[in-house]
Amino acid sequence: MTAAPGAILGGVRVLDLTHAWAGPFATQLLADYGAEVIKIETCDRPDMLRFSTWPTNETRPDAYNRGGWFQYLGRNKLSLTLDLKQAQGQDLFKRLVGQSDVVIENFSASVMRRLGLDYAVLQAVNPRLIMISMPGYGTVGPYRDFVAFGEMIEPFAGLSELTGYADGGPLRLAVAYPDPVAGFHAALATLLALRQRRQSGQGQHIHIPHREPITRMLGAAVLDYTVNGRTLCRIGNRHRAWAPHGCYPCRGPDSWITIAVRHDAEWTALRRVLGEPAWTHDPRFANSLKRWKHADLLDQFMMATTQLWEATALAMRLCAAGIPAGVVQTNRDLLGDAHLRTRQAFWVIAHRLAGTHPYPAPSIRLAETPPGLMRPAPNLGEHNTDVLTRLLGLSPAEIQDLEAKGVIGTAAR
């Protein structure tokens, strides 16, 4: 018998103190596979992505429950508001820790200590507790107390220096790429720690700095300096060994295709697909090394030729010939892509306030225990009564008192 969709992590309870993208992405991965993720926010400072109303300019009072980014990252989670600066809020949090498996937070390094909720305190409450901390720069070193977001980590980790054109400055990517990379690391660390706890019976505190997972991805650049003493330069869409390699215009407005030719056999196949134009027989393009040395000239010929083709038709022919190629797709193209639809790459999620929209589905899919959609993203404080009653046994009068004191709530201030 196979488990119900999303149930492989059933019985694991996660207290989620994260915000923005990196931490919520980690907890989304866990929630999609059945972990009970209780997202804890304050009414004074809800998760900033609740206010991500882009691409529309939302002005309604409850806009913080409609943000598109939050709808994507908040699915399958419960929402509890809890002011951890108040003694009652801290006490309730500790009581929840006693009944939980994991705490994940991505504050700057000193926040949990200043709140009196560092791992030593929480471990005393629950020796089996696993705590995942995701400060931007870790807990030791001169940058440890700096606040960080993916947009800042990207250049600081060395990625932006390698991104851009030879005649221009560094460029950042279109998304805060370090965030989901750190999120994947945090989710993996959680699973490893759960496995280790099964053997030892003890929890542990794990640090996942945003910066280091990205720096680890730049191994070739680090090695080139270590071995050759070279600082890599920006090369745009070029490759450091292959040619042609780039993004080329096609017929129609703002239509593009990416093509990578890795060796002579693929070059021969490219020539056939393009119809053996005369320039492909130029001696300067006779082998891989010559093509790489004359990449500027080669790109001029490539652009003049690809402009005659419709992008999808050319990409299909190139791929059929064994040449890596792909159409540059817009967000509209992605949502209409027949291949992605076949693979159910988007989940259509209905939310009472935000409406019904497609959102990216999990990229990790276990065949026997697939992820599942249990609930849409929660409104702020939507599960206050459920969590405090079911897990802590609070009475309606006690919950009302907490609301009156501002320890919990359902409206952003």
357/200 Cα distance (integer angstroms): 44
DSSP string, 315-344: HHHHHHTT--EEE---HHHHHH-HHHHHTT
- CA separation, residue 214 to residues 123, 157, 172 (Å): 30, 6, 13
127/100 Cα distance (integer angstroms): 11
Q: Which of 179, 282, 337, 401 is catalytic?
A: 179
- The token duo for 4 is 């119900």
| DSSP-derived 3-state class of residue 222 | helix
Backbone angles phi, psi at 123, to 5 degrees: -65, -35
180: left (phi over 0), alpha (psi -120 to 50) or beta: alpha
| 179 flagged as catalytic | yes
- CA separation, residue 116 to residues 94, 135, 406 (Å): 11, 17, 20
72/68 Cα distance (integer angstroms): 6
Backbone angles phi, psi at 395, to 5 degrees: -85, 165
- CA separation, residue 189 to residues 16, 30, 307, 340, 351 (Å): 15, 11, 47, 29, 31
Non-local (6+) Cβ contacts of 44 within 8 A are 83, 413
Residue 31 host element (H or E)? helix 22-32
32/372 Cα distance (integer angstroms): 6
Cβ–Cβ < 8 Å for 103, 20: no
Which pairing describes strands 256-260 and 205-207: parallel, antiparallel, or unpaired?
A: unpaired
Cβ–Cβ < 8 Å for 31, 8: no
413/409 Cα distance (integer angstroms): 10
Which of the residues are catalytic? 179
